[in-house]
A and B are shown apart, each in its own frame.
Chain A
């Protein structure tokens, strides 16, 4: 099992819809979780970090963490064409001295 896994996509949603991105991880002791957005040809940009079980909201973005099930998700409400990008999930691995490992990313396309 890979350390951090994501649906590769591409995921297509119509403008105004909710986009749901999922990520699972293997290290049960992981404590820090991150979502990044990366536009083509650009570097990753932090959307948010989450550390505790439950939901964390920031504008149109909501991150959800479930440590028991070892998954973290990102919901994007009222999706806009400008949200079209690759979304990267990252997890710090407790078993590897808090090394931050990235998933392969999910490509999201928001159709006008």
Chain B
């Protein structure tokens, strides 16, 4: 079974631009979570989607948004990029929320650099 895929793997943008990252979950998984990882802050939860609905949201500004499609693929968007948005963005998929089905598997991540 194919793992979680993320595109693009690397991205360089300038301040003020916007960016869209894509995540395709493991086949059969309907829950997708997004995390931001920086050396100083560790893995920070952005949001979680299940069946096209946002179930949870982390403490990030409204510039960070996401969505999930009917095939469970998910995208996240960051508008008006700031230097501090430079990070590794990780997507993780699980079968569904709840005990025993919530084990998350991570994609390789998208490395975003904001200049």
User: A residues near B, CB below 8 A?
Assistant: 31-32, 34, 36, 42-46, 49, 51, 88, 90, 92, 96-105
Contacts and interface: CB of A to CB of B under 8 A. Distances in A.
B48 interface: yes
A27 to B, nearest CB: 14
A106 to B, nearest CB: 11
Contact of A43 (B42, B56, B97, B107): B107
B97 A98 contact: yes
Prevailing SS type, chain B contact patch: strand
A51 B102 CA distance: 11
Interface string B36-76: 00000011010010000001100000000000000000000
A34 B109 contact: no
B106 A99 contact: no
Nearest to B96: A98
B99 A51 contact: yes
17 contacts: A32-B102, A43-B88, A43-B90, A46-B103, A46-B105, A90-B104, A92-B99, A97-B55, A98-B56, A98-B98, A99-B55, A100-B33, A102-B35, A102-B45, A103-B42, A105-B42, A105-B43
A97 B100 CA distance: 15
B106 A44 contact: yes
B102 A43 contact: no
Interface string B78-114: 0000000000101010000111101111111100000
Contacts of A49: 103
B4 to A, nearest CB: 9
